[in-house]
Structure 1
């Protein structure tokens, strides 16, 4: 099957390090590994931190330019981008099945998190895409409920949580006595990363070597560092900046606990890549009980009340105190990730949804 993967989001660079770029790359790669030909058509020019596994062509040149070069696809598969309906219209115009991948409710996100203006056109485009897509792939149950309300029906909605590449983590965390807490990603307001300064301050008396490594960077680090200076723990924080997969795996191998300290959120629609990557690396997870996070972590760590900083610190302290417990929970998480959260599993679920639309051809 020839699949045209479309991404009209200017903020998502094929080959980049942010979570959306990781997702774009691995969906393309996993579908390719299952025998499909994938061509990615993107608004943003590619970068080469992590090479994209499919040919990348510019969306500015139009979808027809890609078709002239590679042939008419069997499927148009678009990562939902705010206000973009051209891929849907292209698919309809050429009598092709259209699958929409929805990673977040972009109109809600733009208003509540990015404080960006969203008008009637963007809302209308979102509802149209949800209603007219032949199938909608979403990353979480809360997001499925959101799509269903606008789509007006549940048929064609498939929940496919994010995955991780086992090959990127050939060895698992050593658990040899270190006291480093790992946060993977470029901090955003909804990550709650500044809370980690208080966690470190709370457990430092019992674990004098405790530290944090932020595997990423960006403007969001400033809030964490501000809080760290206020609590006197700024010397315990390391920020790596963007890293490729090998660099990420190396740091997780040397860490003790993977943390995801999300604040309270009544509509947590994410499927956090960081959580499944911690699990694949053999790290026990300490995370907030929001959205589908508890269902993802299972018995691979501790999930606590998102409003309870003391519970967060207590869970971290317990794990730092007991390397055998870290090893046991990390092993449970690793096995769970291998069974349920690989990119091949993601691709197989997408393939299943697509095959029903294109008659199972490849």
Structure 2
């Protein structure tokens, strides 16, 4: 089978040592070892994609923040500092708007791979996978590791608009063809 793996979380460095990165690499490697063709769309490859592609037996499609979105992130962080708030690395608006860039990279990957299904690691504000699944009529398998809107609101730096974050999260969960928790 052909599998398009999406990770629209800029906090996960695919080559990194975090639990999320290790989980993604292990899962993709297992799929490849079983004979599946895998392509990964990720927003934070940190160089060395060719080595990583060789190790994982998968093609990597980077979906880095666009220059305009990086500029927006800097402005929002500066504004938060100016009013005495803890600045977040990737504010909600930046992450939500990144779907535009991520969707284009995911569409390119889907056009090249022609996947049998999309496997997405759920990330807060990440609607590009759902949009791609609908546009290309490809089943979406969504891996949910935590209710991220709740987690961000209660245990991290907060959410700009909690009702909207919860609504988007629940919409993605309901629209996925298969939910894995």
Alignment match, 1:72: 114
Alpha-carbon distance in 1 for matches of 2:5, 2:172: 16
Hey, what's the Cα distance between the residues in 1 that align with 2:155 and 2:147? Answer: 11
Aligned partners of 1:128, 1:107: CA distance in 2, in Å? Answer: 12
More helix by share: 2
Moved more, 17-26 or 106-115: 106-115
Match of 1:57 in 2: 61
CA contact (8 A) 1:83 1:121 kept: no
Q: What does residue range 266-305 of structure 1 map to in structure 2 within 5 Å?
A: none
Residue-by-residue CA offset, 1:231-254 (whole Å, 9 max, x unaligned): xxxxxxxxxxxxxxxxxxxxxxxx
Match of 2:168 in 1: 125
State how far apart, in whole Å, the 2-side matches of 1:67 and 1:134 are. 17
- 1:1-362 to 2 correspondences below 5 Å: 1-46=1-46, 51=52, 53=56, 54-59=58-63, 60=101, 61-68=104-111, 70-119=112-161, 120-138=163-181
CA offsets 1:56-85 (integer angstroms, 9 cap, x no match): 1123352122133x3311101100010111
- Cα distance change, pair 96–6 in 1 and its aligned pair in 2 (3 A): same
Measure, in 2, the Cα distance between the counterparts of 1:18 and 1:47.
17
Residue 15 of structure 1 aligns to a residue whose secondary structure is coil
Deviations 1:180-209 (A, max 9, x none): xxxxxxxxxxxxxxxxxxxxxxxxxxxxxx
Q: Structure 2 length as normaliser, TM-score? A: 0.70
Q: 1 CA distance for matches of 2:142 and 2:46?
A: 22
Contact 1:14 1:47 in 2 (8 A): no
**What secondary structure does 1:100 align onto?**
strand
TM-superposed deviation, 1:35: 1.1
Q: What TM-score, normalized by structure 1, do the two folds share?
A: 0.36
Greater CA radius of gyration, 1 or 2? Answer: 1
Structure 2: runs of 5 or more not aligned:
64-100
Q: Residues 277-334 of structure 1, C-alpha deviation per residue, up to 9 Å, x if partnerless?
A: xxxxxxxxxxxxxxxxxxxxxxxxxxxxxxxxxxxxxxxxxxxxxxxxxxxxxxxxxx
After TM superposition, give the deviation of residue 103 of structure 1 in Å: 1.1
Q: For the structure 1 residues 57 and 94, does the alpha-carbon distance in structure 2 shift closer, same or farther, using more than 3 Å as the test?
A: same
RMSD: 1.9
Check conservation: 1:110, 1:118, Cα contact below 8 A. Answer: no
8 Å Cα contact 2:119-2:140 kept in structure 1? yes
Q: CA deviation at 1:47?
A: 5.0
Whether contact under 8 Å (2:38, 2:59) holds in the other structure is yes
CA distance in 1, matches of 2:159, 2:5: 27
Partner of 1:306: none
Q: Distance in 1 between matches of 2:143 and 2:160?
A: 20
**Corresponding pairs, count:** 137
Describe the shift of the 1:46–1:27 C-alpha distance in structure 2 as closer, same or farther (beyond 3 A): farther
Deviation at 1:121, TM superposition (A): 2.7
Greater RCO (CA < 8 Å, at least 6 residues apart): 2
Q: Distance in 2 between matches of 1:18 and 1:87?
A: 23
- Report the Cα offset of residue 118 of structure 1: 4.3
